[in-house]
Amino acid sequence: MGNALARTILRLAGPTLIGAGGAAWYVITEQLKAQKVEVHRDSSQLAGRLVAGPVTAFAQAAVIEKHALAMGGGRTFAEISEEWMAATAAGDEARAAELAGTRETVMQANLLRASLFTSVLAYGVAALAMGTGVLSCATASAVRSK
């Protein structure tokens, strides 16, 4: 491949990657904003701010984890599930019923956290695409023609 072709490919790839990353960032932000979630007041940072970016999404996920652990008495979903399964297997319906509500609530909290972490990851991929686009443009400028 000649230098001219390489430079052309890099010059085309740069803006494409920057645009795709920027578009992804915009869509993720708009989807988060549409949920109208604010970082919970229990957050040590960013309390009351609208979840509309990677930092606020991460902060809200941390608060959800704190609340889920409190609801579960310091136990994770896996630990509560093990207790629930053991109670069910032992025929201890009262204990299984007691754990079922907590198990369900903690599971929902974990799903919310996973969704927020997915958006944080998506922001990272969008930033990577934009950064690769910038690097592509810089590389195109550095490629010399013969």
Of 100, 128, 103, nearest to 22 (Cα)? Answer: 128
User: Rounded to two decimals, what is the model's pTM?
Assistant: 0.82
Q: In this predicted model, what pLDDT tens digit does every residue of 35-50 receive, in sequence order?
A: 999 999 999 889 999 9
CA dihedral angle for residue 48, residue 49, residue 55, residue 60, rounded to 10 degrees: 40
Q: Could you tell me the two tokens for 60?
A: 């809200």
Q: In this predicted model, what pLDDT tens digit does every residue of 91-128 receive, in sequence order?
A: 999 999 989 999 999 999 999 999 999 999 999 999 99
Q: Which domain holds residue 79?
A: 3-142
Per-residue pLDDT at 143: 81
How many domains are contained in the chain?
1
Contact 144, 8 (CB under 8 A): no
Q: State the first-to-last Cα distance of the chain, in angstroms, to the nearest integer.
A: 13
